[in-house]
Amino acid sequence: MFNIKITGVAEIQKLLAAMPDRLRGNLDQQTRIMGYKILQDAKANLPRSDKQKVHLQDALKLKVMKVSDMKTIVLVRNEHELWIEAMALEFGTRFMSARPFLRPALEKNRDDTFQIIAQSLQRVIE
């Protein structure tokens, strides 16, 4: 498990509130692109069985929700009610050790995600 400490949130919120809509849209678009990249990496981390009719890789979808002008949430959701299988793989059970697929994908893309956010904010500051 990893922890992320964010400082300067108030300053960032002021900058974001002052951003033109065009740049805010660019940040939302970059967030969506990174979300899809994380989703593809998570799917690649999953085992695939020919015995199943519906595969977890096919069931995982990306949902982007614009909560407000300041917040966009990117969710990986499960369309075919395979959430129990997904949680068992990610965290393990008392009968099976964890075989995480989402956390490694997040970790792999963490630096790129922060870099894209920093570049988008840098364009606003300049």
pTM: 0.67
Positive or negative, the CA dihedral 19, 72, 36, 112 is: positive
Q: Work out the average pLDDT over 58-71.
A: 71
Q: Which three-class secondary structure state does DSSP give residue 24?
A: helix
| Higher pLDDT pick, 117 / 20 | 117
Q: Residue 92 has what pLDDT?
A: 92
Q: Residue 50 has what pLDDT?
A: 72
pLDDT band (50, 70, 90) for residue 93: very high
* CA geometry: angle 43, 30, 18, nearest 5 deg: 145
- Write the CB contacts of 34 (distance below 8 Å, at least 6 apart in sequence): 74, 109, 112, 113, 116
pLDDT band (50, 70, 90) for residue 59: confident
